[in-house]
Protein backbone atom coordinates (compact mmCIF):
# COMPACT_ATOMS: atom_id res chain seq x y z
CA UNK A 1 0.00 0.00 0.00
CA UNK A 2 1.44 3.34 -1.04
CA UNK A 3 2.02 6.06 1.55
CA UNK A 4 2.58 8.70 -1.11
CA UNK A 5 0.78 12.01 -1.01
CA UNK A 6 -0.10 13.99 -4.12
CA UNK A 7 -2.77 16.32 -5.46
CA UNK A 8 -4.81 16.19 -8.64
CA UNK A 9 -5.31 19.70 -9.99
CA UNK A 10 -6.87 21.55 -12.93
CA UNK A 11 -9.95 19.33 -13.22
CA UNK A 12 -13.72 19.66 -12.98
CA UNK A 13 -14.35 17.56 -9.90
CA UNK A 14 -17.69 15.82 -9.37
CA UNK A 15 -18.70 16.34 -5.74
CA UNK A 16 -22.07 16.09 -4.03
CA UNK A 17 -22.63 19.70 -5.13
CA UNK A 18 -21.95 18.96 -8.80
CA UNK A 19 -18.97 19.60 -11.07
CA UNK A 20 -16.59 22.06 -9.45
CA UNK A 21 -13.56 23.66 -11.09
CA UNK A 22 -10.53 24.95 -9.23
CA UNK A 23 -10.64 22.19 -6.62
CA UNK A 24 -7.57 20.14 -5.78
CA UNK A 25 -8.08 16.53 -4.70
CA UNK A 26 -5.46 15.62 -2.14
CA UNK A 27 -4.67 11.89 -2.07
CA UNK A 28 -2.77 10.28 0.78
CA UNK A 29 -2.08 6.57 0.45
CA UNK A 30 -5.24 4.83 -0.71
CA UNK A 31 -7.67 7.53 0.47
CA UNK A 32 -8.79 11.03 -0.39
CA UNK A 33 -7.38 13.24 2.36
CA UNK A 34 -9.05 16.52 1.44
CA UNK A 35 -10.62 18.72 -1.21
CA UNK A 36 -9.34 22.28 -1.21
CA UNK A 37 -8.79 25.28 -3.47
CA UNK A 38 -5.80 24.61 -5.67
CA UNK A 39 -4.11 27.81 -4.53
CA UNK A 40 -4.24 26.57 -0.92
CA UNK A 41 -1.92 23.61 -1.59
CA UNK A 42 1.50 23.65 0.05
CA UNK A 43 4.19 24.88 -2.31
CA UNK A 44 6.09 21.59 -2.14
CA UNK A 45 3.08 19.38 -2.86
CA UNK A 46 3.49 16.87 -5.68
CA UNK A 47 0.75 17.58 -8.22
CA UNK A 48 -0.67 16.10 -11.40
CA UNK A 49 -2.23 18.59 -13.79
CA UNK A 50 -5.29 16.99 -15.44
CA UNK A 51 -5.60 19.65 -18.13
CA UNK A 52 -9.21 20.55 -17.42
CA UNK A 53 -10.45 16.95 -17.48
CA UNK A 54 -13.58 15.67 -15.76
CA UNK A 55 -12.62 13.95 -12.50
CA UNK A 56 -15.30 11.46 -11.43
CA UNK A 57 -15.60 8.71 -8.84
CA UNK A 58 -14.34 5.45 -10.30
CA UNK A 59 -17.05 3.26 -11.77
CA UNK A 60 -18.37 0.28 -9.79
CA UNK A 61 -19.80 -2.60 -11.81
CA UNK A 62 -21.82 -5.14 -9.85
CA UNK A 63 -22.23 -7.63 -12.72
CA UNK A 64 -19.02 -8.66 -14.48
CA UNK A 65 -18.96 -12.19 -15.85
CA UNK A 66 -15.73 -11.78 -17.74
CA UNK A 67 -13.37 -9.59 -19.71
CA UNK A 68 -9.98 -9.66 -21.32
CA UNK A 69 -10.86 -12.94 -23.02
CA UNK A 70 -11.62 -14.90 -19.84
CA UNK A 71 -14.85 -16.00 -18.13
CA UNK A 72 -15.05 -16.38 -14.36
CA UNK A 73 -17.09 -19.59 -14.60
CA UNK A 74 -14.53 -21.26 -16.83
CA UNK A 75 -11.55 -20.46 -14.61
CA UNK A 76 -12.54 -19.31 -11.10
CA UNK A 77 -9.02 -18.25 -10.07
CA UNK A 78 -7.21 -15.21 -8.76
CA UNK A 79 -5.43 -14.80 -12.09
CA UNK A 80 -8.78 -14.69 -13.89
CA UNK A 81 -9.92 -11.89 -11.56
CA UNK A 82 -6.70 -10.03 -12.21
CA UNK A 83 -7.22 -10.24 -15.99
CA UNK A 84 -10.88 -9.20 -15.74
CA UNK A 85 -10.03 -6.26 -13.54
CA UNK A 86 -7.27 -5.06 -15.88
CA UNK A 87 -9.57 -5.33 -18.89
CA UNK A 88 -12.37 -3.32 -17.34
CA UNK A 89 -10.09 -0.72 -15.81
CA UNK A 90 -9.41 0.48 -19.35
CA UNK A 91 -13.06 1.58 -19.38
CA UNK A 92 -13.17 3.37 -16.04
CA UNK A 93 -14.14 0.47 -13.76
CA UNK A 94 -12.24 0.76 -10.49
CA UNK A 95 -14.41 -1.62 -8.46
CA UNK A 96 -16.39 -4.70 -9.47
CA UNK A 97 -18.14 -7.84 -8.34
CA UNK A 98 -16.92 -10.80 -10.40
CA UNK A 99 -20.10 -12.62 -11.33
CA UNK A 100 -20.56 -16.37 -11.33
CA UNK A 101 -23.57 -17.52 -13.30
CA UNK A 102 -25.37 -20.73 -12.33
CA UNK A 103 -22.92 -23.59 -11.92
CA UNK A 104 -22.06 -26.64 -9.84
CA UNK A 105 -21.32 -26.43 -6.15
CA UNK A 106 -17.62 -27.10 -6.69
CA UNK A 107 -17.33 -24.16 -9.09
CA UNK A 108 -19.12 -21.90 -6.61
CA UNK A 109 -16.74 -22.98 -3.87
CA UNK A 110 -13.70 -22.27 -6.07
CA UNK A 111 -15.08 -18.86 -7.11
CA UNK A 112 -15.65 -17.74 -3.53
CA UNK A 113 -12.19 -18.95 -2.51
CA UNK A 114 -10.59 -17.11 -5.45
CA UNK A 115 -12.45 -13.93 -4.57
CA UNK A 116 -11.37 -14.14 -0.95
CA UNK A 117 -7.74 -14.66 -1.97
CA UNK A 118 -7.85 -11.87 -4.54
CA UNK A 119 -9.06 -9.40 -1.90
CA UNK A 120 -6.39 -10.61 0.53
CA UNK A 121 -3.73 -10.09 -2.14
CA UNK A 122 -5.06 -6.67 -3.05
CA UNK A 123 -6.01 -7.47 -6.65
CA UNK A 124 -7.15 -4.03 -7.84
CA UNK A 125 -10.88 -3.49 -7.98
CA UNK A 126 -12.26 -6.72 -6.49
CA UNK A 127 -14.97 -5.79 -3.98
CA UNK A 128 -16.67 -9.15 -3.48
CA UNK A 129 -18.69 -11.62 -5.53
CA UNK A 130 -22.03 -11.76 -7.33
CA UNK A 131 -23.64 -15.20 -7.40
CA UNK A 132 -26.15 -14.88 -10.24
CA UNK A 133 -27.96 -18.11 -9.51
CA UNK A 134 -28.29 -21.03 -9.35
CA UNK A 135 -31.53 -20.33 -7.46
CA UNK A 136 -33.42 -19.25 -10.58
CA UNK A 137 -36.56 -20.02 -12.58
CA UNK A 138 -36.18 -22.36 -15.58
CA UNK A 139 -38.77 -20.43 -17.60
CA UNK A 140 -36.66 -17.25 -17.26
CA UNK A 141 -33.24 -18.85 -17.51
CA UNK A 142 -31.84 -16.70 -20.32
CA UNK A 143 -28.45 -18.17 -21.17
CA UNK A 144 -28.13 -19.97 -17.81
CA UNK A 145 -28.06 -23.77 -17.80
CA UNK A 146 -31.24 -24.85 -16.02
CA UNK A 147 -29.62 -28.20 -15.19
CA UNK A 148 -27.56 -26.28 -12.64
CA UNK A 149 -30.60 -24.80 -10.87
CA UNK A 150 -31.37 -25.93 -7.33
CA UNK A 151 -32.67 -24.85 -3.94
CA UNK A 152 -29.85 -24.48 -1.43
CA UNK A 153 -29.68 -26.66 1.64
CA UNK A 154 -28.20 -25.42 4.92
CA UNK A 155 -24.64 -26.29 3.90
CA UNK A 156 -24.92 -24.45 0.60
CA UNK A 157 -26.40 -21.41 2.32
CA UNK A 158 -23.35 -21.38 4.57
CA UNK A 159 -21.08 -21.55 1.53
CA UNK A 160 -22.94 -18.89 -0.46
CA UNK A 161 -22.59 -16.40 2.39
CA UNK A 162 -19.07 -17.40 3.48
CA UNK A 163 -17.05 -14.56 1.90
CA UNK A 164 -15.77 -12.76 4.98
CA UNK A 165 -13.64 -9.99 3.47
CA UNK A 166 -15.89 -8.62 0.71
CA UNK A 167 -19.49 -8.07 -0.29
CA UNK A 168 -21.75 -10.89 -1.51
CA UNK A 169 -24.62 -10.22 -3.93
CA UNK A 170 -26.99 -13.09 -4.74
CA UNK A 171 -29.52 -13.06 -7.57
CA UNK A 172 -32.44 -15.42 -7.00
CA UNK A 173 -35.99 -16.10 -8.12
CA UNK A 174 -38.16 -15.40 -5.07
CA UNK A 175 -40.80 -17.96 -6.10
CA UNK A 176 -38.19 -20.72 -6.07
CA UNK A 177 -37.06 -20.32 -2.46
CA UNK A 178 -39.01 -20.41 0.81
CA UNK A 179 -39.31 -17.02 2.47
CA UNK A 180 -37.36 -18.41 5.43
CA UNK A 181 -34.42 -19.22 3.16
CA UNK A 182 -34.46 -15.73 1.62
CA UNK A 183 -34.61 -14.22 5.08
CA UNK A 184 -31.72 -16.38 6.30
CA UNK A 185 -29.49 -15.37 3.38
CA UNK A 186 -30.18 -11.70 4.09
CA UNK A 187 -29.55 -12.13 7.81
CA UNK A 188 -26.15 -13.65 6.99
CA UNK A 189 -25.14 -10.45 5.22
CA UNK A 190 -25.86 -11.19 1.56
CA UNK A 191 -27.36 -8.45 -0.58
CA UNK A 192 -30.26 -10.05 -2.44
CA UNK A 193 -31.65 -9.30 -5.89
CA UNK A 194 -34.66 -10.76 -7.67
CA UNK A 195 -33.76 -11.88 -11.15
CA UNK A 196 -34.30 -14.61 -13.72
CA UNK A 197 -37.74 -14.92 -12.17
CA UNK A 198 -41.25 -15.80 -13.32
CA UNK A 199 -42.72 -14.62 -10.02
CA UNK A 200 -46.05 -12.91 -9.74
CA UNK A 201 -46.27 -9.44 -8.28
CA UNK A 202 -47.42 -10.95 -4.97
CA UNK A 203 -44.51 -13.38 -4.87
CA UNK A 204 -42.01 -10.59 -5.50
CA UNK A 205 -43.61 -8.47 -2.79
CA UNK A 206 -43.22 -11.40 -0.39
CA UNK A 207 -39.56 -11.66 -1.42
CA UNK A 208 -39.05 -7.97 -0.72
CA UNK A 209 -40.60 -8.44 2.72
CA UNK A 210 -38.21 -11.35 3.34
CA UNK A 211 -35.05 -9.39 2.53
CA UNK A 212 -34.67 -8.82 -1.21
CA UNK A 213 -33.53 -5.24 -1.81
CA UNK A 214 -32.76 -5.10 -5.54
CA UNK A 215 -33.47 -6.36 -9.05
CA UNK A 216 -30.90 -7.77 -11.45
CA UNK A 217 -30.94 -6.31 -15.01
CA UNK A 218 -34.43 -4.82 -14.78
CA UNK A 219 -36.82 -5.95 -17.57
CA UNK A 220 -34.54 -8.80 -18.67
CA UNK A 221 -35.39 -12.39 -17.66
CA UNK A 222 -38.29 -11.43 -15.39
CA UNK A 223 -42.08 -11.41 -15.48
CA UNK A 224 -43.20 -8.25 -17.30
CA UNK A 225 -45.50 -5.43 -16.28
CA UNK A 226 -49.02 -6.00 -17.62
CA UNK A 227 -52.35 -4.35 -16.89
CA UNK A 228 -53.79 -7.09 -14.69
CA UNK A 229 -50.51 -8.71 -13.62
CA UNK A 230 -47.78 -6.25 -12.60
CA UNK A 231 -45.17 -9.02 -12.37
CA UNK A 232 -41.61 -8.54 -11.20
CA UNK A 233 -41.15 -5.39 -13.29
CA UNK A 234 -44.23 -3.78 -11.76
CA UNK A 235 -43.08 -4.65 -8.25
CA UNK A 236 -39.66 -3.19 -8.97
CA UNK A 237 -41.01 0.07 -10.36
CA UNK A 238 -43.53 0.48 -7.55
CA UNK A 239 -41.06 -0.06 -4.71
CA UNK A 240 -39.31 3.18 -3.77
CA UNK A 241 -37.04 1.33 -1.34
CA UNK A 242 -35.62 -1.20 -3.81
CA UNK A 243 -32.70 -0.74 -6.21
CA UNK A 244 -32.53 -1.75 -9.87
CA UNK A 245 -29.56 -2.46 -12.11
CA UNK A 246 -29.96 -1.66 -15.80
CA UNK A 247 -27.98 -2.69 -18.88
CA UNK A 248 -27.92 0.49 -20.97
CA UNK A 249 -26.59 -0.90 -24.24
CA UNK A 250 -29.64 -0.16 -26.40
CA UNK A 251 -30.07 -3.91 -26.98
CA UNK A 252 -31.10 -5.56 -23.72
CA UNK A 253 -33.84 -3.01 -23.11
CA UNK A 254 -35.37 -0.33 -25.33
CA UNK A 255 -34.18 3.10 -24.15
CA UNK A 256 -37.81 4.22 -23.77
CA UNK A 257 -38.41 1.45 -21.23
CA UNK A 258 -35.36 2.54 -19.27
CA UNK A 259 -36.60 6.15 -19.35
CA UNK A 260 -39.89 4.90 -17.89
CA UNK A 261 -37.94 3.20 -15.10
CA UNK A 262 -36.03 6.40 -14.39
CA UNK A 263 -39.31 8.30 -14.22
CA UNK A 264 -40.87 5.74 -11.85
CA UNK A 265 -37.96 5.12 -9.48
CA UNK A 266 -36.16 7.53 -7.16
CA UNK A 267 -33.14 8.57 -9.21
CA UNK A 268 -30.66 7.29 -6.64
CA UNK A 269 -32.11 3.76 -6.82
CA UNK A 270 -31.12 3.08 -10.45
CA UNK A 271 -27.56 2.03 -11.25
CA UNK A 272 -25.65 0.88 -14.32
CA UNK A 273 -24.23 -2.60 -14.85
CA UNK A 274 -22.59 -4.20 -17.87
CA UNK A 275 -23.27 -7.95 -17.52
CA UNK A 276 -19.98 -8.10 -19.43
CA UNK A 277 -18.58 -11.21 -21.06
CA UNK A 278 -15.00 -12.07 -22.16
CA UNK A 279 -15.03 -9.96 -25.38
CA UNK A 280 -14.84 -6.73 -23.34
CA UNK A 281 -11.23 -5.60 -23.50
CA UNK A 282 -10.24 -8.50 -25.75
CA UNK A 283 -9.45 -8.88 -29.46
CA UNK A 284 -11.31 -12.19 -29.75
CA UNK A 285 -15.13 -11.78 -29.95
CA UNK A 286 -15.73 -15.47 -29.12
CA UNK A 287 -15.77 -17.40 -25.89
CA UNK A 288 -17.03 -20.67 -24.44
CA UNK A 289 -19.99 -20.90 -22.09
CA UNK A 290 -21.37 -24.25 -20.87
CA UNK A 291 -19.43 -25.95 -23.68
CA UNK A 292 -20.93 -23.74 -26.41
CA UNK A 293 -18.91 -21.26 -28.47
CA UNK A 294 -20.57 -17.84 -28.41
CA UNK A 295 -19.53 -14.89 -30.56
CA UNK A 296 -20.27 -11.21 -30.10
CA UNK A 297 -21.55 -9.70 -33.36
CA UNK A 298 -21.93 -5.95 -33.77
CA UNK A 299 -21.64 -5.61 -30.02
CA UNK A 300 -24.46 -8.10 -29.31
CA UNK A 301 -23.86 -11.41 -27.56
CA UNK A 302 -26.35 -14.24 -28.15
CA UNK A 303 -26.19 -17.99 -27.76
CA UNK A 304 -27.27 -20.49 -30.41
CA UNK A 305 -30.86 -20.41 -29.14
CA UNK A 306 -30.97 -16.66 -29.68
CA UNK A 307 -30.94 -15.69 -26.00
CA UNK A 308 -28.82 -12.74 -24.97
CA UNK A 309 -25.71 -14.19 -23.34
CA UNK A 310 -24.44 -11.30 -21.28
CA UNK A 311 -23.09 -8.28 -23.14
CA UNK A 312 -20.09 -6.70 -24.77
CA UNK A 313 -20.78 -3.48 -22.87
CA UNK A 314 -18.23 -1.59 -20.79
CA UNK A 315 -19.02 0.95 -18.09
CA UNK A 316 -17.65 3.93 -19.98
CA UNK A 317 -20.01 3.17 -22.86
CA UNK A 318 -22.84 2.62 -20.40
CA UNK A 319 -22.26 6.11 -18.98
CA UNK A 320 -22.22 7.61 -22.46
CA UNK A 321 -25.44 5.77 -23.29
CA UNK A 322 -27.10 7.00 -20.12
CA UNK A 323 -26.41 10.54 -21.30
CA UNK A 324 -27.16 10.08 -25.00
CA UNK A 325 -29.96 7.48 -24.95
CA UNK A 326 -31.62 8.11 -21.61
CA UNK A 327 -31.19 11.87 -21.43
CA UNK A 328 -29.68 12.04 -17.96
CA UNK A 329 -27.06 14.61 -17.06
CA UNK A 330 -23.41 13.62 -16.93
CA UNK A 331 -23.23 14.03 -13.14
CA UNK A 332 -26.28 11.79 -12.78
CA UNK A 333 -24.89 9.19 -15.20
CA UNK A 334 -21.60 9.19 -13.29
CA UNK A 335 -23.39 8.62 -9.99
CA UNK A 336 -25.39 5.77 -11.57
CA UNK A 337 -22.02 4.19 -12.32
CA UNK A 338 -20.39 4.83 -8.96
CA UNK A 339 -22.26 6.36 -6.03
CA UNK A 340 -25.47 4.35 -6.29
CA UNK A 341 -23.97 0.88 -6.79
CA UNK A 342 -21.62 1.57 -3.87
CA UNK A 343 -24.58 2.42 -1.65
CA UNK A 344 -26.53 -0.62 -2.80
CA UNK A 345 -23.89 -3.09 -1.63
CA UNK A 346 -23.19 -1.26 1.61
CA UNK A 347 -20.02 0.61 0.61
CA UNK A 348 -21.58 4.06 0.49
CA UNK A 349 -19.39 5.35 3.31
CA UNK A 350 -16.12 4.43 1.61
CA UNK A 351 -16.62 4.26 -2.18
CA UNK A 352 -18.32 6.08 -5.02
CA UNK A 353 -17.89 9.70 -3.88
CA UNK A 354 -15.08 12.22 -4.18
CA UNK A 355 -14.82 13.49 -0.62
CA UNK A 356 -12.41 13.38 2.29
CA UNK A 357 -12.20 9.95 3.87
CA UNK A 358 -13.35 8.06 0.77
CA UNK A 359 -11.25 5.61 -1.18
CA UNK A 360 -9.13 7.26 -3.89
CA UNK A 361 -10.80 5.37 -6.74
CA UNK A 362 -11.04 7.96 -9.50
CA UNK A 363 -11.32 8.39 -13.25
CA UNK A 364 -10.32 11.34 -15.41
CA UNK A 365 -12.24 11.76 -18.69
CA UNK A 366 -12.12 14.21 -21.56
CA UNK A 367 -15.24 16.02 -22.80
CA UNK A 368 -16.04 13.14 -25.18
CA UNK A 369 -15.97 10.82 -22.14
CA UNK A 370 -12.81 9.04 -23.17
CA UNK A 371 -10.65 7.74 -20.35
CA UNK A 372 -7.52 9.78 -19.65
CA UNK A 373 -6.38 8.17 -16.39
CA UNK A 374 -7.63 6.15 -13.44
CA UNK A 375 -6.63 5.47 -9.85
CA UNK A 376 -7.51 2.51 -7.63
CA UNK A 377 -6.58 2.88 -3.96
CA UNK A 378 -4.60 5.95 -4.97
CA UNK A 379 -2.52 4.01 -7.48
CA UNK A 380 -2.44 5.41 -11.02
Predicted confidence at residue 298, as pLDDT, reads 83
pLDDT given at position 251 = 94
Domain annotation covers residue 237: yes
With 0-12 / 13-18 / 19 or more C-beta atoms within 10 angstroms meaning exposed / middle / buried, residue 105 is middle
| Residues 68 and 13 both lie in one domain | no
Q: What is the DSSP letter of 112?
A: H
Q: Is 38 labelled as part of a ligand binding site?
A: no
Q: Are residues 27 and 170 in the same domain?
A: no
H or E segment to which residue 25 belongs: strand 23-28
Task: Give 377's Cβ-side CA count (13 Å radius).
Answer: 11
Q: Give pLDDT, residue 283.
A: 92
Q: Greatest CA span in the chain, whole angstroms?
A: 68
Are residues 231 and 164 located together in one domain of the fold?
yes
Same structural domain, 44 and 97: no
Q: Is residue 335 part of a domain?
A: yes
Question: Pick from 166, 187, 75: which is nearest to 118 by CA?
Answer: 166
Contacts of residue 347, defined as CB under 8 A and 6 or more positions apart, other chains included, come to 60, 95, 127, 167
Distance CA 188, CA 307 (A): 33
User: Is 132 marked as a binding-site residue?
Assistant: yes
Q: Could you tell me if 74 and 37 lie in one domain?
A: no
User: Does the annotation list 184 as a binding residue?
Assistant: no
Residue 196, annotated as binding a ligand: yes
221 is in an annotated binding site: yes
Check whether residue 208 and residue 272 sit in a common domain: yes
* pLDDT score of 3: 55
Domain match, 361 and 245 both: no
pTM over 0.85: yes
Domain that residue 25 falls in: 5-57+356-375
Is 13 part of a structural domain of the chain? yes
Residue 349 lies in a domain: no
Residues tagged active-site: 275
Considering the domain architecture, whether residues 338 and 361 belong to the same structural domain is answered as no
Cβ contact 27:239 at 8 Å: no
Q: CB-side exposure of 291: number of CA atoms within 13 Å?
A: 2
Strands (E), 29-67: 31-37, 47-57, 59-64, 66-67
Residues 77 and 184 in one domain: yes
Residue 32 belongs to a domain with what CATH number? Answer: 2.30.40.10
143 is in an annotated binding site: yes
Same domain, 78 and 132: yes
310 is in an annotated binding site: yes
- Note whether residue 380 is domain-resident: no
The answer to whether 146 and 138 have CB atoms below 8 angstroms apart is: yes
pLDDT of residue 1: 36
Residue 371 and residue 224 share a domain: no
350 occurs within a structural domain: no
- Domain for residue 22, yes or no? yes
Q: For the chain, what is the domain count?
A: 2
Q: Is 308 annotated as a binding residue?
A: yes
In a domain, 317, yes or no: yes
Are 361 and 302 in a shared domain?
Answer: no
- Sequential pLDDT tens for the chain (380 residues): 345 899 999 999 999 999 999 899 999 999 999 999 999 999 899 999 999 999 999 999 999 999 999 999 999 999 999 999 999 999 999 999 999 999 999 999 999 999 999 999 999 999 999 999 999 999 999 999 999 999 999 999 999 999 999 999 999 999 999 999 999 999 999 999 999 999 999 999 999 999 999 999 999 999 999 999 999 999 999 999 999 999 999 999 999 999 999 999 999 999 999 999 999 999 999 999 999 999 888 888 888 888 888 899 999 999 999 999 999 999 999 999 999 999 999 999 999 999 999 999 999 999 999 999 999 999 99
Does the bond joining 134 to the residue before it have cis omega, within 30 degrees of 0? yes
Provide the CATH number for the domain around residue 114.
3.20.20.140
Amino acid sequence: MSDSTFALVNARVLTNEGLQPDLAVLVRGRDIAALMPADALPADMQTRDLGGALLLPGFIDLQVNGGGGVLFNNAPTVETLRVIGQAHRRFGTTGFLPTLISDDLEVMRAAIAATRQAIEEGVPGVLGIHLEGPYLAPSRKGTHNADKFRVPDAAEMDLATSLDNGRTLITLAPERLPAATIRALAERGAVLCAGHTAASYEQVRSGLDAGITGFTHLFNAMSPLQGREPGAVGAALESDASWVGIIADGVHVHPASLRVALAAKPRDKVFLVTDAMPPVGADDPSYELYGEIITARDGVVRNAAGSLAGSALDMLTAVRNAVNLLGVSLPQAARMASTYPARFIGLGDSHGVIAAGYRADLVALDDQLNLQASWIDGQA
